[in-house]
Structures are given as C-alpha cells and as structure tokens.
Amino acid sequence: MNLAMFKVMALDLWRDRAALIMAFLLPPLVFVIFAGVFTGATAIDVKLKVAVADLAHTPNSGRLVAALLADKDLRAQAVKPPALAAVGAMVRSGEADAGVVVRGDPAGPGSPLLILADPSRAVAEPLTEARIQDVLSRVLPDILLARTIGDVAKATGPLSAEQRQNVAMAERELVEDPGVAAQSEPLFASLEVTGARRGGGTTAYYAGAVTILFALFTAMHGALTLIEERRSGIADRILAGQAGLWPVVTGKLLFLIAQAAVQAAAIFATAQLVYDVPVVQHLALWLATTFALGLCAGGLALAMVSVCRTREQAQMLSTFVILILAAIGGSMVPRFLMPPWLQTVGWLTPHAWVIDAYQGLLWRDEGPETLYRSWLVMTAIGLFGFLFAQAVVRRVRI
C-alpha cells in the first residue's frame, strides 16, 4: 500500500508539468539569484560607482585620480569640468554612490580628500574611504610616507638636509617597490549631499521596498478569485453574457489598485509619523506614484494567476516570482551593494522603479520631469498584465 501511494503521487507530479518545473527547476534558479545578490553585498565584492573631481591639479593629485580611474574594484568616473557642485549633484541624483573631491595635494597637510555621500547610502562612505586607502597603499605609498613625514616634522621640527635626502630616497624606493605606509593626520573629510537628517533617505527607500513587496502579495491573494470563479463555473456563465469577462477582470484590477493605495497609505503614514518622511508635503506626486504602483501590482498579479489552472499552482508561482523580483529589485538588499550585472538586471523588475520613484520623490525632491520614467514603466507593466489576463481568461478552462 505504501509503495502504491508513493507511485500514485509520483505519477501525479510527473503529469503536472507546471508543478515539476516549480518543484525542481525553480529552486536552483532561486538559489543562484539569491547567492548572487547576497554574496555581492559584501565589502570585498562591492564595486561602487564613484564620481571623482580633481580641484588641486598637482602632480600627486593627478596620480591619485588616474589610479582611482584605473582601479578594477571601483567604477570611477571623472567629472568634467571638475567641480564640487557637479559631484554633489551626481551623488544626490543617484548617478554615483559616492563622490571624491581632491581639494589639495594628497601628500600635503590637512584633509585633502573630501568624500561626498548620500545618508541613504551610509555604507558607501566608509567603503569608498577603504578603497582609496587600498589604492594609496598599493599604488601610491610614497604619498602616505610624505604625509607621515609631515606629521613627524610638526612635532620634531624641520628635517635636516640629510634627512630630507633620505626621505626622498625612501619615496623613490616606495614608488619602485610599493609597500604600506601609515599616516596619523586624517586624510579624509566627509560631507553629506543633503541637509536632511541622517536616516531619512534610508527610511524612504525601505518604505518603497516594503510597499511594492506587500502590494504584490496582497494583489496575488485578490487575483486568486479568478481561479475560484473558473472552478465554480461562474466564469463560464459570465463569459456567455454579452459583455463577457472584460468587466470582471477590470473590476478586479480597480479593486487591487484601491487595495494597494490603502496599504501604501498605511505604510507611508507610519513613515511620516514615526520617521518624519515628508509624504504630505509631496501628496500630489505621491498619489500619482501610488496609483502607478497599484496598477503595476494588480496587472502583474492578474497575469500570473491567469496562466495557472489551480490555486496551488498560482500560490507557488507567485511566491517564487515575488521573492525573485524582490531580491533582484532591491527590496531585500540595496541595489548599490549588488554586483554591477545584477544592478542592471534589477531595472527589469518593478521593484527597482517603485523604490527609485518613492526615494526620488521623498528624499531627493524630484518632480514630474524625473518621475515620469518610473510612472511610465509601472503603468506599462500593469496595462500589459491586465490585457494579457483579459486575453487568457477567455481561453483557459478547468
């Protein structure tokens, strides 16, 4: 009897091709994606986008900028013409994860290197500083030695001619055979690119990330009524009518949009009350973004449910798809910590566009001239999913 039941269940699984794929092919795919996301989110593997500007125009500053641009562990970009405001604008807009402004000779006194960072990407500042230190130690150790000698001279007085000659010889040896030299005076200074308090950008980021994640989960739950109506025969009776299933699917989409809006309102009301995220101050644009989000989540959920024959298939498929999209799109790990190829793939998910829209609206004070791209993508996904579901439900039979 035990063997017979085993055989029956094995045959049922073998005949259900969708269940086979979701049981044995999707798990390895999910593993590969999650492994790529989370192994890339380590300090060793992160390749930050860094905007670099040389305001000092000295031989040493030129050497440092050239070394940063050539470093394979950084995606450095020279800002032309070099200007502090231009670097700040790139960091604020998200074009760069951090900015480096060389405002003095790196071998000179003071803090010649200024790192600009967005508080919503707080980890980018120490990672950038560590990467520059590594470049200096490996490629330009003579600069670190010169700074160390300068620090010592402040305490002991000027060096003698013989000591200066020895230092010059040591610098030449370090250039020819790089080693590690330490400095005592701070080499770096930091500057936030916005005046808002620290943490606000991160809060706006995760408010958007959580909103799209749960909007998809709840939309899937609502869209499952399509399967229940097909199984009960209600869909067949409606399809025989003059209007067909068009108003049914349309009504479901309108409900899912309203549901997502209420859900988003609860999340962002909490963000405003607890973390001072300026939602009410941007209410009109927030409503437009939330409508596009609801349309996107509702259309995508209806499309996924429409291709499934059973509730179990729909639940399993939705869980896999939503988790994969959430991982790639930045709902679990900030996208700037991912490998570059995953950051590019992330723009194929609605999550990346939703998060970018809400963060741009509530943190970077962006207007319709910038947000419209996210609105168009979300709207296009939602409408495509809606029209796809309308076409499929007419043909699928239980």
Per-residue pLDDT of the chain (398 residues; tens, 9 = 90+): 557 667 767 777 677 666 666 667 766 766 666 666 656 555 456 778 899 999 989 988 888 999 999 988 888 888 988 889 899 888 887 788 889 999 988 887 788 899 998 877 767 888 888 888 888 888 788 777 667 666 555 545 565 666 566 656 655 655 555 544 444 457 888 887 765 444 567 788 889 999 999 999 999 988 888 887 766 555 555 555 554 566 778 888 999 999 999 999 999 999 999 888 899 999 999 999 999 999 999 999 999 988 887 787 888 888 888 888 998 898 888 888 787 888 888 999 999 999 999 988 988 888 999 999 999 999 999 999 999 998 887 665 44
* pLDDT for the residue numbered 231: 64
Please check whether residue 325 is in contact with residue 349, taking contact to mean a CB–CB distance below 8 angstroms: yes
Look at residue 324 in the predicted model and tell me its pLDDT: 87
Q: What is the structure's pLDDT at 233? A: 55
pLDDT score recorded for residue 299: 95
- The answer for 191, left when phi > 0, alpha when psi is -120 to 50, beta otherwise, is beta
What is the end-to-end Cα distance of the chain in Å, rounded?
31
76: which strand partners? 50
Which residues is 100 bridged to in the sheet?
Answer: 52, 115
pLDDT of residue 184: 47
State whether residue 334 is helix, strand or coil: coil
pLDDT for res 173? 58
Residue range(s) of every CATH 3.40.1710 domain in the chain:
49-192
| d(C-alpha 46, C-alpha 43), whole Å | 5
How many DSSP H helices and E strands does the chain contain?
A: 17, 5
Residue 186 is classified by DSSP as: -
Q: Which pLDDT score is estimated for 289?
A: 97
CA-to-CA distance for 13 and 329, rounded, in angstroms? 32
Pick the CATH number of 49-192 from 1.10.260, 3.40.1710, 3.40.1360, 1.20.950: 3.40.1710
